[in-house]
């Protein structure tokens, strides 16, 4: 393309990709690159046991690089997906047992997510 | 008597970048490069914010990739990203290879978000996309694409909220503002509108404003973009007041970015007719580091740009607003006031 038309085409592709991600977000709860800012406030509490020994808060924070208990300001699935991805890949050999209790937008922490599922 | 008329070219041919063989090394200058002054100014301020607000230091080492690939990148990737970002911001500030620098900064943010899912945020996505679009500048059409970027963002935000039952019921707002944030404004408003009505009102107002903003920005007339810019400034200003946060780099860079919708005169394209003895004229000459103003002596104030003519107080206002010096002062003043506020808040 002449006269920098390829640059315009690239920008249009970027805009179209965002529109695509907005549609994709209807089927994927992680909501990456789809403009869902601060749409959920998830209070959570992570417990991890490896070889029968529970990890303390600092060890959990070191493992997942997030506080062991606190708030996730993106999508809830972002938090759970992070832990699942870690346990499936970098932490796979630890055979960790993980339990996350969480509550969305002020609800009590009654929802429970576990790994392995 | 103030008056403004638009020429037939109205925003279509104005605001072409006019690169000179050797752009100024003065960091405060924003004309004479491959980008129009307002886009370059926005990119420079954003670069400074990335450094000042710690984004440069926070660029991640490879960890859990956002889309599950690639694993096993060297830890030096972080250092490489930081080096590229720092170099690009430095060159950008001094008006060197400005388009390439914008693309480089945008890419470092994107790569950071792809190699570590914890680094992902909507604020960084916004900044990265805007920098890429600015870097891919291709004449006045790029202003339209930048507006569309804002429109897509607002539309995406509104759609996400519309599909969320806690947004539709107002529960999100009630919890966020009333319980998590203890927002003084929100709590005061509760005495006027009881819960859950207040949460629902603010939720639906937010969704409505975002849809209106997207709609206005997609319309083809500059007056709608001005309306959108004013509405967005009010909307985000209110959100800052209520949440007592700038949402990191998001609001500052978005607010200044509202200027990129508009045509901006280049070097010598501000034809100003004004009385030479005016104190304002003398001040304008000192502040016009980019030599945007072509001053002609006359009895009354008149400003002609490639696409519009203004007279009276509007001419005075526009000539000030078109000068990058005005925005430098405004941005540094705002940063100083915000930091003073934060200091005061910790003392109290």
Place of tokens 């909507």: B122
Q: How far does the CA of residue A72 sit from the closest CA of chain B (Å)?
A: 11
What pLDDT sits at residue B8?
A: 40
Q: Do B133 and A11 touch (CB under 8 A)?
A: yes
B118, B137, B155: residue with CB nearest A65: B118
Q: Which of A23, A86, A27 is nearest to B156 (CA)?
A: A23
A8, A85, A86: residue with CB nearest B138: A8
Q: Which residues of A touch B247 (CB under 8 A)?
A: 37
Residue-wise pLDDT tens digits, A22-47? 988 888 877 788 887 567 899 999 99
Q: SS3 sequence, chain B?
A: CCEEEECCCCCCCCCCCCCCCCCCCCCCCCCCCCCCHHHHHHHHHHHHHHHHCCHHHHCCCCCCCCCCCCCCCCCHHHHHHHHHHHHHHHHHHCCCCHHHHHHHHHHHHHHHHHHCHHHCCHHHHHHHHHHHHHHCCCCCHHHHHHHHHHHHHHHHHHHHHHCCHHHHHCHHHHHHHHHHCCCHHHHHHHCCCCCCHHHHHHHHHHHHHHHHHHHHHHCCCHHHHHHHHHHHHHHHHHHHHHHCCCCCCHHHHHHHHHHHHCCCCCCCCEEEEECCCCHHHHHHHHHCCCCCEEEEECCCCEEECCCEEEEHHHHHHHHHHHCHHHHHHHHHHHHHHHHHHHHHHHHC
Q: Which residues of B touch A10 (CB under 8 A)?
A: 136
Q: How far does the CA of residue B341 sit from the closest CA of chain A (Å)?
A: 24
Q: Do A105 and B148 touch (CB under 8 A)?
A: no
Chain A residue with Cα closest to B124: A33
pLDDT by residue for chain B (348 residues), tens only, comes to 455 565 444 444 444 566 666 899 999 999 999 999 999 999 999 999 999 999 999 999 999 999 988 998 999 999 999 999 999 999 999 999 999 999 999 999 999 999 999 999 999 999 999 999 999 999 889 999 999 999 999 999 999 999 999 999 999 999 998 888 888 888 888 888 888 899 999 999 999 999 999 999 999 999 999 999 999 999 999 999 998 899 999 999 999 999 999 888 988 899 999 998 889 999 999 999 999 999 889 989 999 998 889 999 999 999 999 999 999 999 999 999 999 999 998 887
Q: Is the ipTM of this complex over 0.90?
A: yes
B66, B136, B153: residue with CB nearest A7: B136
Q: Which residues of A touch B164 (CB under 8 A)?
A: 39-40
Quick one: how far is CA B262 from the chain centroid? 12
């Amino acid at each position: 393309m002449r006269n920098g038309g390829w640059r315009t085409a690239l920008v249009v592709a970027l805009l179209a990709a965002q529109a695509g991600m907005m549609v994709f977000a209807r089927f994927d709860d992680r909501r990456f690159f789809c403009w869902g800012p601060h749409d959920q406030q998830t209070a959570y509490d992570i417990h991890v046991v490896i070889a029968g020994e529970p990890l303390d808060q600092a060890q959990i924070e070191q493992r997942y690089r997030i506080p062991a208990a606190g708030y996730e300001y993106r999508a809830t699935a972002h938090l759970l997906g992070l832990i699942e991805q870690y346990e499936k890949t970098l932490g796979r050999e630890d055979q960790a047992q993980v339990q996350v209790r969480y509550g969305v937008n002020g609800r009590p922490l009654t929802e429970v997510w576990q790994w392995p599922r | 008597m103030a008056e403004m008329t638009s020429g037939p070219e109205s925003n279509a041919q104005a605001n072409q970048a006019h690169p000179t063989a050797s752009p100024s090394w003065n960091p405060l200058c924003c004309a004479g490069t491959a980008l129009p002054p307002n886009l370059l100014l926005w990119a420079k301020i954003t670069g400074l914010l990335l450094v000042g607000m710690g984004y440069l230091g926070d660029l991640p080492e490879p960890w859990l990739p956002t889309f599950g690939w690639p694993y096993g990148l060297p830890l030096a990737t972080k250092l490489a990203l930081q080096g590229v970002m720092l170099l690009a911001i430095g060159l950008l500030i001094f008006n060197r290879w400005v388009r390439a620098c914008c693309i480089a900064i945008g890419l470092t943010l994107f790569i950071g978000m792809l190699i570590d899912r914890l680094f992902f945020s909507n604020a960084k996505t916004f900044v990265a996309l805007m920098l890429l679009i600015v870097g891919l500048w291709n004449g006045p059409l790029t202003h339209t694409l930048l507006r569309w970027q804002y429109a897509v963002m607002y539309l995406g935000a509104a759609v996400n909220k519309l599909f969320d039952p806690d947004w539709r019921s107002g529960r999100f707002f009630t919890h966020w503002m009333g319980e998590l944030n203890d927002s003084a404004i929100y709590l005061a408003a509760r005495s006027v509108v009881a819960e859950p009505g207040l949460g629902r009102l603010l939720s639906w107002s937010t969704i409505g404003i975002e849809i209106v903003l997207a709609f206005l920005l997609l319309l083809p007339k500059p007056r709608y973009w001005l309306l959108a810019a004013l509405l967005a400034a009010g909307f985000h200003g209110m959100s800052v007041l209520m949440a007592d946060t700038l949402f990191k780099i998001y609001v500052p860079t978005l607010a200044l970015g509202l200027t990129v919708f508009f045509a901006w005169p280049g070097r010598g394209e501000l034809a100003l007719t004004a009385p030479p003895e005016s104190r304002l004229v003398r001040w304008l000459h000192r502040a016009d580091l980019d030599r945007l103003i072509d001053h002609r002596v006359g009895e009354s104030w008149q400003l002609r740009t490639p696409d519009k003519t203004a007279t009276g107080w509007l001419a005075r206002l526009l000539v000030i607003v078109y000068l990058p010096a005005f925005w430098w002062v405004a941005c540094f003043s705002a940063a100083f006031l915000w930091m003073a506020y934060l200091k005061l808040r910790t003392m109290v």
